[in-house]
Amino acid sequence: MPGFELFGKEERQQVEKVLDTGVLMRYGFDGMRDGHWKAKELEEALSQRMQVNHAHVVSSGTAALTIALASAGVGAGDEVIMPTFTFVASFESILALGAVPILVDVDDTLTLNPNAVENAITPKTKVVMPVHMCGSMADLDALQQICKKHGLLLLEDACQAIGGSYKGKPLGSIGNLGCFSFDYVKTVTCGEGGALITDNGEYYENAQKYSDHGHDHIGNDRGAESHPFLGYNFRISELNAAVGCAQIQRLDEFLGIQEKNYNMLREALSSVERVTFRRVPDGGVENYSFLNFFLPTEEMARRTHKALLDAGVDSCFYWYDNNWHYYRKWEHLTNQKTLGKLSQEVLHGLQDFNKVDFSVSDHWVGRNISCLIKLGWTENEVSERADTMVRILKSL
């Protein structure tokens, strides 16, 4: 991770095919295309790889989450349970629909704590959104049971975990809906892009219309299409989709490299006393895009992170202080900083962040260091990195 590290002839050939036709839009202009439909081609590859009936590619992972929620009828005042540790897109997608994000604790998986989810459910809850952060998954069996018990939708945000699996099923395919990001720093990149997947035909039909201004996409005359309901513009371009067509075919190649580099680092760090690793639920297989480990205390994690950076060990993250990925720095959410007015449903539904207790999340995220696994490292570079990390950890 990320896939741009290994751009090559495959990506160039796919992009050139689009440029040769001159058609950069995913819809229409049938006669000019010379048979090239890159967005559709990427959707077919995703459906096959993720073992689902339907895939729809869009402009970003944020768009995918927004469309997935809309396709299932989520709207004003509906509550969506999400973790304290994620990317800001999680709550942005919820708020965009007038729904209410309800933050709950993570556990030692660094993903949704099922007990916290159960305690957060109210009559307004409609969706549980686990986010498979840093390449690994939540306790999906437990979350599925909770959703079944309360009649809730399970929406998997697998934006950072493409290629991972749970009990033999690809991440993203286990819930009612699943979403991926193909932005510039993801394992599979389109530069900008995303996708939602589902086995539910109604959700798919809603999604492919909603993402294109409500067009019904019936017939060959775009100007004659009707609009069954309101929609917006979340389309992906054919150029972005073309890059994705090449990258999705290389996913196994990328995963193999990530696993090799991950295992080398993990084996080395396992020799350091009192270093422990995030829990992967039984039956789960990471996509190996990050190596996450815990230090005994928050103070030691801070010192270790600084020492790693000072020693030139880049791409190690201390999410506890990160502006984008942990609730502590989401002042725009907690202080309701918006350009326009929030709806009364949102204002009345948001948690009082001055009173809510996320100490369980702090316990885990505050002691965690997360190391990005790069595709471009040589074996010697991984070995040298491992030696440096072990030396620093032992010295501290």
Q: Are 175 and 313 within one domain?
A: no
- Laid out side by side, the sheet with 316-317 consists of 276-277, 290-294, 368-372, 316-317
Collapsing DSSP to helix, strand or coil, 248 comes out as helix
Q: What pLDDT score was predicted for residue 293?
A: 98
Please give the share of the chain, as a percent, with pLDDT higher than 90. Answer: 99
Q: Are 85 and 106 in contact (CB under 8 A)?
A: yes
Q: What pLDDT score was predicted for residue 66?
A: 98
pLDDT per residue as tens digits for the range 19-68? 999 999 999 999 999 999 999 999 999 999 999 999 999 999 999 999 99
pLDDT per residue as tens digits for the range 335-378? 999 999 999 999 999 999 999 999 999 999 999 999 999 999 99
Please tell me the distance from the alpha carbon of residue 326 to that of residue 171, in angstroms, as a whole number.
22
Q: What pLDDT score was predicted for residue 148?
A: 98
Q: Are 113 and 229 within one domain?
A: yes
User: Taking Cα atoms as reference points, which of 244, 183, 212 lies closest to residue 45?
Assistant: 244
Q: Are 121 and 207 within one domain?
A: yes
Rg of the chain, C-alpha, whole Å: 21
Domain stop point among 250, 278, 305: 250
Q: Directed axis angle between helix 238-249 and helix 38-50, to 10°?
A: 30
Q: Are 288 and 262 within one domain?
A: yes
Q: What pLDDT score was predicted for residue 134?
A: 98
pLDDT per residue as tens digits for the range 218-253? 998 999 999 999 999 999 999 999 999 999 999 999
Based on the residue annotation, tell me whether 17 is a catalytic residue of this protein: no
According to DSSP, residue 103 is labeled: E
| Residue 251, H or E segment | helix 251-269
pLDDT band at 257 (very low <50, low <70, confident <90, very high): very high
Q: Are 110 and 195 within one domain?
A: yes
pLDDT per residue as tens digits for the range 170-203? 999 999 999 999 999 999 999 999 999 999 999 9
Say how many domains are in the chain.
2
pLDDT band at 99 (very low <50, low <70, confident <90, very high): very high
Collapsing DSSP to helix, strand or coil, 38 comes out as helix
Domain that holds residue 338: 252-395
Please give the share of the chain, as a percent, with pLDDT higher than 70. Answer: 100
Q: Are 224 and 281 within one domain?
A: no
pLDDT band at 329 (very low <50, low <70, confident <90, very high): very high
What is the mean pLDDT of the segment spanning 140-149?
Answer: 98
User: Burial level of 338, CB count in 10 A (0-12/13-18/19+)?
Assistant: exposed
Domain stop point among 220, 250, 280: 250
Q: Which tokens is 240 given?
A: 């972005």
Q: Are 258 and 244 within one domain?
A: no
Q: Are 351 and 373 within one domain?
A: yes
pTM above 0.85? yes
What is the mean pLDDT of the segment spanning 150-161?
Answer: 98
Q: Mean of the per-residue pLDDT values for the chain? A: 97
Q: What pLDDT score was predicted for residue 152?
A: 98
Q: Directed axis angle between helix 379-395 and helix 298-310, to 10°?
A: 130
Q: Are 335 and 299 within one domain?
A: yes
Please tell me the distance from the alpha carbon of residue 140 to that of residue 264, in angstroms, as a whole number.
28
Domain CATH code at residue 300: 3.90.1150.10
Q: Are 243 and 258 within one domain?
A: no
**Annotated catalytic residue: which of 38, 124, 167, 186?**
186
Domain CATH code at residue 196: 3.40.640.10
What is the mean pLDDT of the segment spanning 307-333?
Answer: 97
Q: Are 264 and 220 within one domain?
A: no
Q: Are 303 and 243 within one domain?
A: no
Please tell me the distance from the alpha carbon of residue 127 to that of residue 342, in angstroms, as a whole number.
21
Domain stop point among 250, 276, 311: 250
